[in-house]
Structure 1
Amino acid sequence: MLSRWLTDRRFLPLCLILFVVLRLGVALLFPVTPVSDSAFYVDRAREMVAGLGYQEQGHPTAYWPVGYPALLAGGYWLTGSMPLTIIALNLAAGLATFWLLGVIGRRVSIPAAGIRFAQLALTLYPNHIVYTGQALSEVVYTALILGGMALMLREPRLANLALAGLVLGFATYVKAQTTAFPLGVLIAMALLERANRRWSLLAGGALLYAVMFATVLPWSLRNAEQLGHFVLISTNGGPTLLDGNNDIADGGSTNMYANPALKPLIYSLPVPFEDRIARQVEWDQATRAAARAWIADNPGQFAALLPRKALKLWLVDGEGFWAHEGQYTAHATVLKGLRIANQGFTASFCCWRCRGCGPGWPGGCGRP
């Protein structure tokens, strides 16, 4: 029955209506106050609109990448409403992701039923739904990454790889780790290419990275001027590395700044904790050095943590619920149930896909 519905001409319009209704419904009926990362993004966006530039506590900053706060600032300048900006930006990015699933699916020869199944899964995905009303970069970043991938898969190759570099350059403004993403895709594409086309793909990859870094370069030069050091995108790499590599590391975040057990480590660093914003480049360097020293001194423990880190990163799902859990404490039981349902949704979708039984997937039985 599902296979028949997925190929019905009414599927796409009804699925899109459901996509919008679910996201607007949750965002409007259960608004959340920005906390943690989202509070940082909103505060920086308001300051940029006020003409203060990208700064924190009076100091130029690059602690978090500027891309998402800059998008919020643009929307806030246009609308005068931060909640409206957040919802509109995330909803537009979500719809772009919905469309790009179809674009990429067709370019890698996934049958129509398989593409529509993926679009239906995205529509019903609880974690994606609850992100819509939050000032978090994940939904926008997903759309940018898929846009870059869609261009990488499009012919003619060189021109579109250059355009992909531009889109992925903008994605790097949102998350610095984007710089590693195209390399993995290019390697996969090279393995699938005929030998006589791999050299052209190599040249296209070099062009992609050249455009990508040229797109990021103005920000890097700004950092060099205002921070006194050449910083490609952001200065939070060191703190993040140390957060996951220390004496109490368990494979997840150790909440480095708030955990009393890590105070001796934090206060032993050569940069005073209270100067971490004003001297953020030095703080980044100091925390990175401390993390690398711990890894060098504890190679066995570091290696043992790698599987746990991978499991916590890829198997546990539901980050979009954190703000709701903190704000709607009276509904803790309901939110816990939704978390469990979300985890089950993710696991069942992955298992169904891995079995090759999704409708219309190559090699699948086609029986939902």
Structure 2
Amino acid sequence: MHAFNAFLPFRHSLQRITEGFRDPAWLHKAGWWALIIALLLRVGWGISVPVIPVSDSNAYDVFAQNIAAGQGFSWKSGELTAYWAVGTPAVYALIYSIFGHTYVPIVVLNIIVGLGTVALAMSLARRWLGPVPAVLTGWILAIWPLMIQFTTILASEMLFNFCVLAAFWVATMPGWKWLPRAVAAGVILAAAVYIRPIALLLAPVIYFQEAVIQRRLIRAGAACAVSCVVMIALILPWSLRNLEVFDRFVLVSTNAGTNFWMGNNPETTGSYMPEPETGIVNEAERDIYLKHKAWEYIGQEPLAFVSRTLKKAVLLHDRESIGVVWNEKGLEQSFGRLVLLPLKLISNIYWWLMLACAGYALILLLRQRTWLELLTLPPLIVWAYYAAVHSITVVGDRYHIPSDPFIAMLGAYAIFIAAGRMVAVGKDESTPNRN
């Protein structure tokens, strides 16, 4: 009883919140407040932390400057590349062409994209999990440390997350006819592929629930086909550019085989490693060569490949501190080195909590839904898809970021159920025993 009394104020607050869950007007306000808090936190971070590009951010910066200067997608004039996907540098190049080489518009763009991500995730969570998990999803993403930290980072992750959520949003829009949904989704998926090619296979995932659960197999299949055709049609001009540059057909980028090799060679740690010296100048041919080397290694030790893939799946989710790492110079300039470790701890602890909540959600959903419903639930299958692709190739904490909005949805569902149970237990314990 003493233990219960100690948590009584918390239980009363939790009870008031859960009572608000039943009030549509309260939920509506809570959703708007999530967006307001998301805006304030991102604006505050953007004002406080200067943009100092490092690592991949520096690459995007250089590429964007060269595109804006009319030198094409290249490290330097005359050395055209497709090693990175062109989408993110192209967006930044457009900004540089309009405003000059300044990072302020990119920070503003990141804030807008961040808010859009929160709003889209809430809307999708409402369709898939209900109104309360939707609002909780908004709050989880609003205060998610990494999402805030990426406000001052030149990177593909935030743009990619926004595009993927937007594709799901239009493709599953209630009341829209299937053809407009499919065309719009195809356009957005093409944008996502230009940013990160892993989106290439998302169209079947997007329409899977409609085909199986709603039993609209023909309509969903037709919509998926149209989305794929539109997507490929919009990607094809870049593929033809690559054919002209490398004398080989390259759909988007020349790093798929290289990434596959990084995760599957005798010296691999599962994470990024420099390319070996091959003597092959053409980066498309080098990519093919490294892919073949990876397959040779897998063929020699197939069981080791399975073990290695499972280990990489764990490594993919072991931490989330890249937002601090890529902001280190800016944070040091504004606040000194002492803030780095606490910020990394906050980021990682938040990530581990969300991962635990998502795991609890899976346990709950296993009990509440059929296997078919579970295997077609978009937050789960998108997370599984991303994890599978990277576990087979190469991992790092940045590579799980596209899963974050979907993990937030699952975490929100777990928190919703857990909060209701805690309040129910509190009511039972506070009821006098009249026996």
Does TM, normalized by the shorter one, top 0.5?
Answer: yes
Counterpart position of 1:63 = 83
Counterpart position of 2:237 = 218
Q: 3-state DSSP class of the match of 2:211?
A: helix
Aligned equivalent of 2:287, options 278, 284, 289 = 284
| 2:173 corresponds to 1:165 | no
- What is the TM-score of this pair, normalised by structure 1? 0.87
Task: Please give the alpha-carbon distance, in whole angstroms, between the structure 2 residues aligned to 1:360 and 1:282.
Answer: 47
Q: 3-state DSSP class of the match of 1:233?
A: coil
Q: Is the 8 A contact 1:127 1:342 kept in 2?
A: no
Identical residues among aligned pairs (%): 27
User: Which AA in structure 2 matches 1:3?
Assistant: T
Structure 2 CA distance for partners of 1:202 and 1:87, relative to 1, 3 Å: same
| Count, aligned residues | 349
| 2:365 corresponds to 1:347 | no
Counterpart position of 1:16 = 35
1:186-223 CA distances to partner (integer Å, 9 max, x unpaired)? 333322132xx312221221111111101111111111
Q: Is the 8 A contact 2:95 2:105 kept in 1?
A: yes
Q: Is the 8 A contact 2:182 2:223 kept in 1?
A: yes
Task: Please give the alpha-carbon distance, in whole angstroms, between the structure 1 residues aligned to 2:290 and 2:273.
Answer: 14
**1:248 positional shift:** 2.4
Counterpart position of 2:55 = 36
Q: 3-state DSSP class of the match of 2:185?
A: helix
Task: Please give the alpha-carbon distance, in whole angstroms, between the structure 2 residues aligned to 1:32 and 1:348.
Answer: 32
Q: 3-state DSSP class of the match of 1:61?
A: coil
Task: Please give the alpha-carbon distance, in whole angstroms, between the structure 1 residues aligned to 2:19 and 2:326.
Answer: 38
1:4-42 CA distances to partner (integer Å, 9 max, x unpaired)? 556525423432221112112223212242111111111
| 2:152 corresponds to 1:144 | no
Q: Is the 8 A contact 2:153 2:327 kept in 1?
A: no
User: Which AA in structure 2 matches 1:295?
Assistant: I
Q: 3-state DSSP class of the match of 1:60?
A: coil
Aligned equivalent of 2:64, options 45, 49, 56 = 45
Q: 3-state DSSP class of the match of 1:56?
A: coil
Structure 2 CA distance for partners of 1:296 and 1:361, relative to 1, 3 Å: closer
Q: 3-state DSSP class of the match of 2:152?
A: coil
User: Which AA in structure 1 matches 2:179?
Assistant: L
Q: 3-state DSSP class of the match of 1:295?
A: helix
Task: Please give the alpha-carbon distance, in whole angstroms, between the structure 2 residues aligned to 1:331 and 1:363.
Answer: 33
Counterpart position of 2:312 = 309
Task: Please give the alpha-carbon distance, in whole angstroms, between the structure 2 residues aligned to 1:185 and 1:126.
Answer: 28
Structure 2 CA distance for partners of 1:188 and 1:326, relative to 1, 3 Å: farther
Structure 2 CA distance for partners of 1:235 and 1:27, relative to 1, 3 Å: same
Structure 2 CA distance for partners of 1:13 and 1:190, relative to 1, 3 Å: closer
Q: 3-state DSSP class of the match of 2:70?
A: coil
Task: Please give the alpha-carbon distance, in whole angstroms, between the structure 2 residues aligned to 1:35 and 1:359.
Answer: 33
Q: 3-state DSSP class of the match of 2:265?
A: coil
| 2:177 corresponds to 1:156 | yes
| 2:18 corresponds to 1:3 | yes
User: Which range moves more in the overlay, 149-158 or 324-333?
Assistant: 324-333
Task: Please give the alpha-carbon distance, in whole angstroms, between the structure 1 residues aligned to 2:130 and 2:115.
Answer: 21
| 2:221 corresponds to 1:206 | no
- What is the TM-score of this pair, normalised by structure 2? 0.74
| 2:256 corresponds to 1:234 | no
| 2:131 corresponds to 1:128 | no
Task: Please give the alpha-carbon distance, in whole angstroms, between the structure 1 residues aligned to 2:414 and 2:352.
Answer: 21
**1:270 positional shift:** 5.0
Q: 3-state DSSP class of the match of 2:165?
A: helix
Q: 3-state DSSP class of the match of 1:31?
A: coil
1:91-118 CA distances to partner (integer Å, 9 max, x unpaired)? 111111122123323433x332221110
Task: Please give the alpha-carbon distance, in whole angstroms, between the structure 1 residues aligned to 2:20 and 2:273.
Answer: 46
Choose 1 or 2 for highest CA Rg. Answer: 2
Task: Please give the alpha-carbon distance, in whole angstroms, between the structure 2 residues aligned to 1:83 and 1:359.
Answer: 34
1:325-351 CA distances to partner (integer Å, 9 max, x unpaired)? 466444343233223333334234424
| 2:93 corresponds to 1:73 | yes
Structure 2 unpaired stretches of 5+ = 1-15, 366-410, 423-435
| 2:337 corresponds to 1:337 | no
Counterpart position of 1:260 = none
Task: Please give the alpha-carbon distance, in whole angstroms, between the structure 2 residues aligned to 1:162 and 1:78.
Answer: 30
| 2:127 corresponds to 1:107 | yes
**1:152 positional shift:** 1.5
- Over the aligned positions, Cα root-mean-square deviation in angstroms equals 2.5
Task: Please give the alpha-carbon distance, in whole angstroms, between the structure 2 residues aligned to 1:81 and 1:270.
Answer: 36
User: Which AA in structure 1 matches 2:75?
Assistant: E
Task: Please give the alpha-carbon distance, in whole angstroms, between the structure 1 residues aligned to 2:112 and 2:353.
Answer: 24
Structure 2 CA distance for partners of 1:235 and 1:112, relative to 1, 3 Å: same
Structure 2 CA distance for partners of 1:247 and 1:359, relative to 1, 3 Å: closer
